Structure 1
Amino acid sequence: MLEVQNLVKSYDGDRQKRKRGSDSSSNGASQQRVFAVNDISFSVKPGELFTLLGPSGCGKSTTLRSVAGLETPDSGTVSVGERVLFAAGASVTKKVNVPANKRGLGMVFQSYAIWPHMTVFENVAFPLRVMPRSQRPGKREITERVHRVLETMELLQYADRQATKLSGGQQQRLALARAIVIEPSLLLLDEPLSNLDAKLRESLRFELKRLQRDLGITSIYVTHDQIEALSLSSNIAVMRAGEVVQLGKPRDIYENPKSKFVAEFIGTSNFIDGTVASNEGDLHVVETRDGRLILESGAHMPVGTEVIVSIRPESVQLTTERPIGIENVWEGNVTTRAFLGDAVDHVIAVGKHEIRARCLPHVSHAPGSSVFLQMDAGKLALVPVD
Structure 2
Amino acid sequence: MLEISNLIKSYPGEKAKKSGSQGARVFAINNVNLQVQQGEMFTLLGPSGCGKTTTLRSIAGLEHPDSGHISVKGRTLFQAGKGARTVNVAANRRGLGMVFQSYAIWPHMSVFDNVAFPLQVKPRSERPGKADIEQRVHRVLEVMELRQYADRQATKLSGGQQQRLALARALVIEPELLLLDEPLSNLDAKLRESLRYELKRLQRELGITSIYVTHDQIEALSLSSNIAVMRAGEVVQLGRPRDIYENPTSKFVAEFIGSSNFIHGDVVNRTGDNYVVDTAAGQLHLASSAEVPTGREVSVSIRPETVDLTTQRPADLQNVLEGTVGTRAFLGDAVDHLVNVGNLEIRVRSLPNLSIEAGTKVFVKLPADKLALVPIG
Which range, TM-score by smaller chain?
over 0.9
Alignment correspondent of 2:9: 9
Alignment correspondent of 2:117: 126
Match runs of 1:1-386 below 5 Å: 1-14=1-14, 18=18, 24=19, 31-92=23-84, 94-386=85-377
Structure 1 residue matching 2:266: 3-state secondary structure: strand
Gaps of 5+ in 1: 19-23
Determine the C-alpha separation between the residues in 2 that align with 1:291 and 1:233: 37
Structure 2 residue matching 1:71: 3-state secondary structure: coil
Amino acid at match of 1:81: K
Q: Deviation of residue 310 (structure 1)?
A: 0.3
Q: How many residues align?
A: 377
Structure 2 residue matching 1:123: 3-state secondary structure: helix
Amino acid at match of 2:2: L
Q: Deviation of residue 15 (structure 1)?
A: 5.7
> Normalising by the residue count of structure 1, what TM-score does the alignment of the two structures yield?
0.96
Structure 2 residue matching 1:178: 3-state secondary structure: helix
Q: Deviations over 1:287-335 (max 9, x none)?
A: 0011111111111321101000000000111000100124111111111
Amino acid at match of 1:14: E
Closer/same/farther in 2, CA of residues 143 and 358 from structure 1, 3 Å limit? same
Determine the C-alpha separation between the residues in 2 that align with 1:217 and 1:85: 19
Determine the C-alpha separation between the residues in 2 that align with 1:16 and 1:207: 46
Determine the C-alpha separation between the residues in 2 that align with 1:262 and 1:120: 41
Q: Quick check: 2:16–2:24 contact (8 Å CA) kept in 1?
A: no
Closer/same/farther in 2, CA of residues 352 and 210 from structure 1, 3 Å limit? same
Q: Quick check: 1:281–1:300 contact (8 Å CA) kept in 2?
A: no
Closer/same/farther in 2, CA of residues 199 and 154 from structure 1, 3 Å limit? same
Closer/same/farther in 2, CA of residues 210 and 16 from structure 1, 3 Å limit? farther
Structure 1 residue matching 2:278: 3-state secondary structure: strand
**What value does the CA root-mean-square deviation take over the aligned residues?**
1.1
Identity percentage over the alignment?
A: 72
Q: Deviations over 1:46-73 (max 9, x none)?
A: 0001000000000000000000000000
Closer/same/farther in 2, CA of residues 319 and 91 from structure 1, 3 Å limit? farther
Gaps of 5+ in 2: none
Q: Deviation of residue 368 (structure 1)?
A: 1.2
Determine the C-alpha separation between the residues in 2 that align with 1:34 and 1:179: 32
Q: Deviation of residue 282 (structure 1)?
A: 1.4
Structure 2 residue matching 1:302: 3-state secondary structure: coil
Q: Quick check: 1:346–1:356 contact (8 Å CA) kept in 2?
A: yes
Q: Deviation of residue 17 (structure 1)?
A: 5.2
Amino acid at match of 2:11: Y
Q: Deviations over 1:34-89 (max 9, x none)?
A: 00000110010000010000000000000000000000000000000121000000
Q: Deviations over 1:99-126 (max 9, x none)?
A: 1011000000000000000000000000
Determine the C-alpha separation between the residues in 2 that align with 1:185 and 1:124: 17
